[in-house]
Each structure stands twice: as C-alpha cells, then as structure tokens.
Amino acid sequence: MHIVIIGNGISGVTAARHIRKRSNHSITVISSESPYFFSRTALMYVYMGHLRFQDTQPYEDGFWKKNRIDLVQDYVESIAFEGKQLNLASGQKMSYDKLILAVGSKPNKFGWPGQDLKGVRGLYHKQDLEAMEQYSAGLQRAVIVGGGLIGLEMAEMFLSRKIPVTFLVRESSYWRVVLPKEESEMVNRQIKSHGIDLRLSTELKEIVDDGNGRAAAVITHTGERIDCGFVGLTAGVRPNIDFLKGSPLDIGRGILVNNRLETNIPDVYAVGDCAEMRQPDLGRRSIEAVWYTGRMMGEVVAHNICGSNKAYHPGIWFNSAKFLDIEYQVYGNVPSQLPDGILSLYWEHPNGSKSIRINYRKDSQVVTGFNLMGIRYRQQVCEKWIQDQALISDVLANLSLANFDPEFFTTYESALITLYNQQTGQSIRPKSKRNLTAVLSFLKSR
C-alpha cells in the first residue's frame, strides 16, 4: 500500500514516523517548502543568531532513507480524488492508496491594498524567514500588523538587530481575544518597555508602493502614514486549503474530519492546522493550530491507517508562549471574559511582570483553569486537579506541588493564599512541601 502525505510539518512527519513503526507500507512525503522537516517554532532563533537553520532539523538527512520514507520537494496543484491521483507542479503525477492532508496554515490577508508588494510577509514558512533576512539589510523601520503571538515574535526578531518596530494592534489591548484584561495589560507594558512603538486600537488601511513594487509605508485607518521598508502581516492564520475548494472534499473553515481524522472521501485523512473537527471535544476548538495537537493528530492517523481504531482526544487544553521576557502557561479553561458562574482568583506581583490566576466555579468551588505569567507550574499537577474536579481550597493548600520554578527562585503560593483568605474570610494554610517525592506521590494518588 502506498501512503502519500502532503506536508512535512509536525503533523505529516509524525504520521510518517508512526506509520513506519507499525507497518512496511510505502510512504511518500511531499512538500514544496523545504527538503527536510524542521521545527517551525525555531525560525525566529535562526534570524536572531541563536541557531543555524540546520540546527532546527531534528533528524539527520540520512534518517529518511534509513526509515524508507521517500521525500519529494514539489507542489501539489490539484487532486483527482476519484482516481486517487495527485497532479504536481513539476508535471509529475503520483498515485496513492491512502492520502493524508497535512497542508498546514497560511497567514491571513484581508484585501489590503498593497498586501502583495515586495517586503510584505507573514512569519510561517521558511521562505518568510528568508524574506525577512533579505529585507533587513539597511532597514530603517518595520511595521507589524496583528496583535497575536507571531507578531510579537517578529517584533522580537527585529529588535535583536536594533531595527525599530511599530506594532499595529486592532484591539484595545494586546491579544485581548485570548488573555484576560490584567494579563493583556501586563504584556502591553512589557512590549512598551522594550522600545516597541505599540499602537493599540489601530488598523491597517493600505500599504504604500515605493514605485518599484516594494513597500514604502503603511496608512492607518486614521490616515496616518508610517514610513517603513518591511510590513509583517501577522493577523492570524487560516487553513491552507484554497487549492481544494471546488473538490468533492467537505470543507468548512478547514478540512472537515471525524474523530478518527477521516474526511468524507474514503482513504483520505486530514491532520494538523488544516483539519477542522466536526465534533470537537468539550472545551476544545474545532481548529487548533498549535504544535502539540498537530503531533497528536499525526500519531492518531497513523494508528487508524495501520488498522487500529483510535479516536483523537486532545484532553485538557494547555498552551505556553513567551512574551519577550515573560513566560506564559495556561491549563484548562481561562477565557478572556469571565463567564457567568465562574470566579477568578488573581494575584499580581508588585513589579507587574508575574501573576497567578485560578478560575473556579462559584457554586461547587471546583477549579477549572490556571493562567501563569512569569511563574512555572507543572502541567501534570494542574491537569490532575482539573480532571479530579479539585476544590479551590484543596488546590491552594497544596499549591506548592505545582510550582516548577528552579529551586532558589522566590515562590508566591503564600501570597495567593493570603489574598484568597482576605477575599473569602477563610483560613487556608499550606499543607504540602515543595519536593519531588510529594509531587510523585500526588500524581499516583487517585
């Protein structure tokens, strides 16, 4: 059986590796982006000089031949699903028995005049990194559009070369669609403290052509002109499925799949950023463009193609990021707006760069989520509390079990407990000690 995987990101490559572990099927991976799989999240560190591009490749070049995984660098222009045939840009045609679509995402564009000029890029593909490198020489200013993680990563990249950055954010506060108000304002302060020209409640109207097809400035919705030689479009991403529109494949915002990651077409699967769950698990979104869900999908689809019956269940939501000097972690449900019936215990350090938030139900006192800024908590511990429907009082009494900062770092559990006691009139006291033995004992408990 010949299995073809379109896309060599984390989803496609994980699928290929796990199919090989479980079978002797013929495997071909097609990608037009790069010959070999690389860590997409590490692209920024190549630009910043911390890594070489080859350092972002987890496997040696000989790995693929050794594991009998054929790599084809080409672009799939169309798919004849009835005949199970791919039409490639090179003119080659390739047949398959089973097909995995792992075609990823592409940066959003909203029809801005000038959005296709030279010097206007997102930050998703290897080619985007190369374009940033190309236009950085002599660059006097970059303008970044979009208030999310990728935009801030791009800003940090330019800062590493002392290139001034103006950051246009449509919302009234950074990443406010995801972060609660206090954490969002903390990141606002962090951005400004690094010298970034943060423009909140500001939208892009158009990108100005310098007369030779390259970006020369942006015009905001207020009519202000900001001169620049590079424009970063980072207003989110969307599934990279334009080439599949008009085909028999069921498509919504992404490629619609069931919990076995099967599409409506027999022997065709979709995984990663491009896949849209028809019935996502409770507390999960239908499309989740994050690294670990892509990896999980790749493993699940390999099981199903190789004869196992495995459903995709990503578990409790978690994510992590870095806002310049502040590390961020979220476990469970911590929405930007507090839902009815949910209370939020929020503590912030006086220096304004660390915080702990625990959400819990008003009626049952059951903990529903954790948000950490500048403080590390153990994922397994937080998830176990959420799964076990632990009470806020029990969580606070044992909060030291979660702390994962290095040994001599200052801890802040006592400050959070004091705040809770003041707010509720209770007298909770810490119980557990911060040591690995206690953590392991807790994780083994039922």
Would you place residue 435 in the very low, low, confident or very high pLDDT band (cuts 50, 70, 90)? confident
Question: What pLDDT sits at residue 299?
Answer: 98
What is the pTM for the complete model shown? Answer: 0.92
The CA radius of gyration of the chain, in Å to the nearest whole number, is: 24
Statement to judge: residues 281 and 194 lie in one domain:
no
**Mean pLDDT over all residues of the chain?**
95
Within a domain: 313? no
Statement to judge: residues 421 and 377 lie in one domain:
yes
Residue-wise pLDDT for 63-87, tens only, equals: 999 999 999 999 999 999 999 999 9
Statement to judge: residues 15 and 50 lie in one domain:
yes
Residue-wise pLDDT for 374-432, tens only, equals: 999 999 999 999 999 999 999 999 999 999 888 778 889 999 999 999 999 999 988 86
DSSP character at residue 135: H
Name the strand (E) or helix (H) holding 237. strand 237-239
Whether the predicted pLDDT of 437 surpasses 90: no
Residue-wise pLDDT for 122-177, tens only, equals: 999 999 999 999 999 999 999 999 988 999 999 999 999 999 999 999 999 999 99
Residue/partner pairs of 258-266 with CB below 8 Å, 24 or more apart: 259/311, 259/312, 259/313, 260/300, 260/301, 260/304, 260/309, 260/310, 260/311, 260/312, 261/297, 261/300, 261/301, 261/304, 261/312, 262/304, 263/101, 265/81
Statement to judge: residues 332 and 433 lie in one domain:
yes
Statement to judge: residues 243 and 102 lie in one domain:
yes
Residue-wise pLDDT for 31-67, tens only, equals: 999 999 999 989 999 999 999 999 999 999 999 999 9
Token pair, residue 218, equals 């942006």
Name the strand (E) or helix (H) holding 158. helix 149-159
Statement to judge: residues 242 and 231 lie in one domain:
no
Which CATH number do you get for residue 206? 3.50.50.60
Within a domain: 196? yes
What percent of the chain stands above pLDDT 90? 92
Within a domain: 80? yes
Among 170, 168, 173, residue whose Cα is nearest residue 226? 168
Statement to judge: residues 217 and 142 lie in one domain:
yes
Number of domains in the chain: 3
Statement to judge: residues 230 and 242 lie in one domain:
no
Within a domain: 310? no
Question: What pLDDT sits at residue 446?
Answer: 61
Statement to judge: residues 362 and 420 lie in one domain:
yes
Whether the predicted pLDDT of 436 surpasses 90: no
C-beta separation of 390 from 364 below 8 A: no
Cα distance between residue 261 and residue 311, in whole Å: 8
Would you place residue 443 in the very low, low, confident or very high pLDDT band (cuts 50, 70, 90)? confident
Cα distance between residue 143 and residue 27, in whole Å: 42
Token pair, residue 275, equals 């896949």
235, 253, 279: which is the final residue of a domain?
235
Which CATH number do you get for residue 424? 3.30.390.30
Statement to judge: residues 225 and 252 lie in one domain:
no
Within a domain: 115? no
Within a domain: 312? no
193, 217, 235: which is the final residue of a domain?
235
Statement to judge: residues 93 and 153 lie in one domain:
no
Statement to judge: residues 404 and 343 lie in one domain:
yes
- 134 lies in which domain range? 120-235
Contacts of 71 by beta carbon, 8 Å cutoff, 6+ apart: 8, 28, 29, 31, 35, 36, 64
Within a domain: 245? yes
253, 282, 305: which is the final residue of a domain?
305
Within a domain: 311? no
